[in-house]
Chain A
Amino acid sequence: MNILANIFSACLLLVQQTPVPKDLPLPLPLPEELLVVLLVVSFLVHILFVNLMFGGALLTLFFEALGYVKKNEDYDKLSLEIAKTTTVNKSMAVVMGVAPLLTINTLYTLYFYTANALTGLMWIMIIPLVIVAFLLLYAHKYTYEALRHNKPLHLAILALAVGLFLFIPLIFLTNINLMIQPDKWLMVKGFVSALGLPNVWPRYFHFIMASLGVTGLFLFWWFSRRAYDFEGTFNTLKLYDLKKRFYSITFGASVAQFLIGPIVLLTLPEKGLSWHMILVIVTGASISIPALVYIWKEINGEPAKIGRRFPWIATCLSFTVIFMGYGRHLYRATSLETHQKLVKQKTEEYRLAVEEARKEALSPQKDTTQVAVLSPGQVVYENNCKACHALDQTLVGPSFKEAAAIYKNDKASLMAWIKKPGKKREGAAMPAQTQLNEKELGDVADWILTLK
């Protein structure tokens, strides 16, 4: 019993250090399970295009630089061909990002917004940074001809964009990590300190490798399409060599994931770990093994047969991605489970408190007598003048006792002033009270003149 009590008080302490806010008092627009499916699926589509955009930009830079160093025009052409896909994929990445953004807003409102606010300046910087990166991509793509004889400059434009692309994922990863760790909210002071959260960097390298893996596979398909006139475009480059190269990129990146993946898993705060989630992740990882074996075989097999197993490989790796996406969601759900319960409780308590206070405010109590004694003029005063005029002191405007002394026995002038004030004193001029009708004007003037 004693041990249990100790655990309980330890939990309480933990809860005290973790803020428990209340949620929005509105129901979810769709059943929660459906929103989860939408979130996982739409996020995977979004991140797929992000991978292609990022990996594409990286490989464009690589091949253009290779062409420059080796003085081989073909690599230059290759980089342009890849750049053309990148600018399309980047638009898809943005527009496909809106659906998961809205869905995570809906499902994890409190967590997502809190993380955003805590790293607010860098979070909003995503917008200008991505704009600049995109403009640089266009500047690069449309100046292949114009800067043909100034390659270093042309490469620098792209390098700048790639540099931005290397930085921006850190902002997202920081937020995604921070949102699932309410117990870290008190320790964070802005983006830089949040970068130190344990899981940010392993996940960052995981993302970069995933981008290279996905892009390698995509480009393999892109250049081996029947409709693509490879021989007509390139002089010395062989399609087989290129295919081998793209396969190797995917192979290398995926093998690297087998090293980075366990680090990601180990650095995850333990709170969100569950056997269910680990099973999903391990299943996902094992599905990729046959794909990697096939890639290896195709790279080292007969040149004529390369690509035959491609549909298989792509299918296996797609399943890996789906399992990883689902595992990622399971981790988040488990991490937040306890906190969400507390939030739910708090939200309900608050709802009841609001209701109770509203009833109390509506119940006819002490105030009725007061309302009854107000004269019509005083009612006008309460609703129209009180913000700027007090009875016996200067607020924004002079006191009404002073006004009463000035307009002694001159109701007409007082009414005229209220309707169309002039300006006699320093400070803000009084606005004309055109909303008052003659009766109200008369009432309030009468009442003011009774003040002494």
Chain B
Amino acid sequence: MDFPIFHLDFFGDRLMIAVIAILHVLINHGLAVGLVPIVLCMEIKGLKDPTWDRLAYKILTVAFIITTTVGALTGVGIWFSSSLINPYSIGSLIRVFYGAWFVEWTVFVTEVILIMIYYLTWKKKHKTEAHQLVGKSYHVLTGYALAIFSWVTMAIIVAILGFMMDPGNWNNDRTFLSGFTNPIYVPQLTFRTFLALTTGGAVALCLTMFFTDKNSEIRKKSVRFLSKWIFAFIPFTLIAGFWYYLVIPEGMLKNMSVAVGTQQFQNYYEILRQVLMYSLGGVLLIVGFAFLYPRFTPPKWAFFIPVLLMFGLLGYFERVREFIRKPYVIGGYMYSNTFRVEDYPLLQRDGILKHSAFVSTKEVTAHNQYEAGKNVFLIACSRCHTTGGVNSLVEKFDNMYGNTGKPWGASAMKAYISNMHLSRYYMPPFPGNEKELDALIVYLKGIQFNSAPAEGVQNTGLELGTAKDQSLTSNP
């Protein structure tokens, strides 16, 4: 990677992207794609019964405030964080998908403008009764448009996500269209759609508990309506979930370098199935109760449970999606350490340090092994691992060698790292040459007992290995 390395050695860089991205997905699915259609239905009911209109407005207020603050900014935050941490991959993706993202952006701009019109003109007063009626019907039309545009935004993003994971496509056919023709596109989009609608229902139900009086007529009616909504979409979510579950292997297993991967994948996969069943089952239980006994109200906080269950399901689904693209960040083209597959012969021969512009050691020598090893760690491992924090290398090796408290064996580590991609299919092969591997091992053995965080350039600044150093080191 030829960028200065930003690195968080405690939280891990992936966690930062994950927190921002998951937050964005939860808000997008639960408060935009899934919730807008519900608000719209309530507004239409409200044409006859104003209590529906008032409830719909209150629910939309929450959605409006959250989507235009946390929702919008975490969307931008995905760009910020992923380009900070994986500049090489995100930069490559932007160059290929510029057009697609531009289209996506115009749809997104429309969505933002529509939600502002929809929310901010809800209570607009017109001069006469007749004008008021016409105004309201236009308002309902805006609601339809908003619901459609929020869904289209999602539909385009799913194509980009699908493309990233589709093995071979990047190398053969760098067009956006192949994102749509990808075998997992339709199942994934269908699953996300129903998942969003169910989650939207759970969110609306929870908010309704706070916005309506316990004994009011509207409480009874809205709980009935929302439980029916959730009942209606749970079976579809389940079916679409299993459909997606069935097509993943077809699409993804081709991606895996060795068959051992299938086994690790199966575990994830099995959990996905269980998460799907249990979370939907849990939602069904609580919502079913509310449906049967709308007058009997458990404490309001209980209705956070379906929301949390749906959010958990959504989060786990994203986790599996992230897992199955490994060891690549762009299928078949770039490994998750952000080295291109194509670069490997050169780097494994000459070393990664020699071809990095921003390192303090351009070459490994007898005197700089520790520092060079740290640089190798930062360049080759730090996109996913930390030294002692999340996904820590010290912990990984300790576990592997039985937590004996004894120093790890250098030759064992060397044999392991040279071959790890054969048995740990999610690991890319080590990209550097042998000298660099030795240096990395010196560094890792150094931090085994004497942990010192490996800081990124945001703290340390840059220090370059000068040409003078190199001439000294190459003539010992």
Chain A residues with a Cβ under 8 A of chain B = 16, 19-22, 24-30, 88, 91-92, 94-99, 101-102, 105-106, 109-110, 113-114, 116-121, 123-124, 126-127, 130-131, 134-135, 138, 185-191, 193, 346, 350, 353-354, 356-358, 360-361, 382-388, 390, 393-396, 425-428, 431-435
Contact of B419 among A19, A92, A387 (CB under 8 A): A387
Q: Given A27-B95, A124-B80, does the pair A387, B263 have CB atoms closer than 8 Å?
A: no
Contact A102 B72 (CB under 8 A): no
Instruction: Specify the chain B residue showing the minimal Cβ separation from A436.
Output: B259
Q: In the docked arrangement, what's the CA distance between A388 and B357, Å?
A: 34
Chain A residues, Cβ within 8 Å of B210? none
Interface membership of B349, Cβ < 8 A = yes
Contact with A along B6-24 (1 / 0, CB 8 A): 1000000000100010000
Cβ distance A256 to chain B, nearest Cβ, rounded Å: 31
Q: In the docked arrangement, what's the CA distance between A404 and B320, Å?
A: 39
Q: In the docked arrangement, what's the CA distance between A99 and B112, Å?
A: 14
Contact A29 B98 (CB under 8 A): yes
Interface membership of B69, Cβ < 8 A = yes
Chain A residues, Cβ within 8 Å of B105? 98-99, 102
Contact of B87 among A106, A113, A425 (CB under 8 A): A113
Contact A120 B6 (CB under 8 A): yes
Contact A123 B263 (CB under 8 A): no
Contact A91 B2 (CB under 8 A): no
Contact with A along B215-255 (1 / 0, CB 8 A): 00000000000000000000000000000000000000000
Contact of B69 among A25, A123, A131, A383 (CB under 8 A): A131
Q: Which of B328-359 touch A at CB < 8 Å? A: 340, 342-343, 345-346, 349-350, 355, 357-358
Q: In the docked arrangement, what's the CA distance between A395 and B414, Å?
A: 9
Contact B4 A118 (CB under 8 A): yes
For this complex, 8 residue pairs linking A to B, each with C-beta atoms less than 8 Å apart, are: A91-B68, A95-B112, A98-B79, A120-B84, A131-B73, A383-B258, A393-B412, A428-B400
Contact with A along B92-131 (1 / 0, CB 8 A): 1011101101100100110010001000100000000000
Contact A431 B77 (CB under 8 A): no
Cβ distance A78 to chain B, nearest Cβ, rounded Å: 19
Interface membership of B471, Cβ < 8 A = no
Contact B76 A387 (CB under 8 A): no
Q: In the docked arrangement, what's the CA distance between A88 and B112, Å?
A: 10
Interface membership of B70, Cβ < 8 A = yes
Q: In the docked arrangement, what's the CA distance between A6 and B29, Å?
A: 63
Size category of the B interface is 35 or more
Contact B457 A435 (CB under 8 A): no
Contact B467 A94 (CB under 8 A): no
Chain A residues, Cβ within 8 Å of B91? 24, 105, 109, 113
Contact with A along B433-476 (1 / 0, CB 8 A): 00000000000000000000000111111111011000000000
Interface membership of B299, Cβ < 8 A = no
Q: In the docked arrangement, what's the CA distance between A346 and B2, Å?
A: 11
Contact A117 B349 (CB under 8 A): no
Contact B263 A432 (CB under 8 A): yes
Contact A433 B260 (CB under 8 A): yes
Chain A residues, Cβ within 8 Å of B297? none
Contact B357 A106 (CB under 8 A): no
Instruction: Specify the chain B residue showing the minimal Cβ separation from A137.
Output: B69
**9 more A-B contacts (CB under 8 A) besides A92-B112, A127-B81?**
A27-B95, A96-B109, A106-B98, A113-B84, A117-B87, A118-B457, A124-B80, A357-B349, A395-B412
Contact B404 A426 (CB under 8 A): yes
Q: In the docked arrangement, what's the CA distance between A344 and B432, Å?
A: 24
Q: In the docked arrangement, what's the CA distance between A95 and B105, Å?
A: 8
Q: Given A26-B96, A117-B5, A435-B260, does the pair A109, B76 have CB atoms closer than 8 Å?
A: no
Interface membership of B138, Cβ < 8 A = no
Cβ distance A394 to chain B, nearest Cβ, rounded Å: 7
Chain A residues, Cβ within 8 Å of B415? 386-387, 390, 395
Interface centre among B263, B345, B467 (most CB of A within 10 A): B345
Contact A358 B342 (CB under 8 A): yes
Q: Given A16-B467, A19-B357, does the pair A109, B422 have CB atoms closer than 8 Å?
A: no
Contact B458 A121 (CB under 8 A): yes
Q: Given A26-B95, A109-B91, does the pair A428, B399 have CB atoms closer than 8 Å?
A: yes
Interface membership of B401, Cβ < 8 A = yes
Contact A114 B69 (CB under 8 A): no
Interface membership of B296, Cβ < 8 A = no
Q: In the docked arrangement, what's the CA distance between A106 and B87, Å?
A: 11
Contact B76 A117 (CB under 8 A): no
Contact B258 A384 (CB under 8 A): yes
Q: In the docked arrangement, what's the CA distance between A113 and B2, Å?
A: 10
Cβ distance B123 to chain A, nearest Cβ, rounded Å: 13
Contact A24 B92 (CB under 8 A): yes
Q: In the docked arrangement, what's the CA distance between A26 and B92, Å?
A: 7
Cβ distance A257 to chain B, nearest Cβ, rounded Å: 29
Cβ distance B28 to chain A, nearest Cβ, rounded Å: 14
Interface membership of B83, Cβ < 8 A = yes
Contact B461 A88 (CB under 8 A): no
Chain A residues, Cβ within 8 Å of B401? 396, 427
Chain A residues, Cβ within 8 Å of B460? 189
Q: In the docked arrangement, what's the CA distance between A147 and B423, Å?
A: 64
Q: Given A106-B98, A117-B457, A425-B402, does the pair A91, B112 have CB atoms closer than 8 Å?
A: yes
Q: Given A386-B415, A396-B401, does the pair A95, B108 have CB atoms closer than 8 Å?
A: yes
Q: In the docked arrangement, what's the CA distance between A190 and B422, Å?
A: 39
Interface membership of B275, Cβ < 8 A = no
Chain B residues, Cβ within 8 Å of A96? 109
Contact A123 B345 (CB under 8 A): no
Contact A124 B16 (CB under 8 A): yes
Q: Given A29-B99, A123-B84, A435-B260, does the pair A427, B108 have CB atoms closer than 8 Å?
A: no
Q: In the docked arrangement, what's the CA distance between A166 and B379, Å?
A: 36
Instruction: Specify the chain A residue showing the minimal Cβ separation from B399.
Output: A428
Q: Given A26-B96, A185-B462, A387-B424, does the pair A117, B419 have CB atoms closer than 8 Å?
A: no
Chain B residues, Cβ within 8 Å of A88? 116, 120
Contact of A426 among B76, B77, B402 (CB under 8 A): B402
Contact A434 B263 (CB under 8 A): yes
Contact of B343 among A27, A98, A354 (CB under 8 A): A354
Contact A19 B358 (CB under 8 A): yes
Q: In the docked arrangement, what's the CA distance between A300 and B20, Å?
A: 53
Chain A residues, Cβ within 8 Å of B65? 135, 138
Contact A395 B416 (CB under 8 A): yes
Instruction: Specify the chain B residue showing the minimal Cβ separation from A126.
Output: B80
Contact A188 B422 (CB under 8 A): no
Chain A residues, Cβ within 8 Å of B355? 22, 350, 353
Q: Given A22-B2, A29-B99, does the pair A124, B81 have CB atoms closer than 8 Å?
A: yes
Contact of B96 among A29, A98, A109 (CB under 8 A): A29
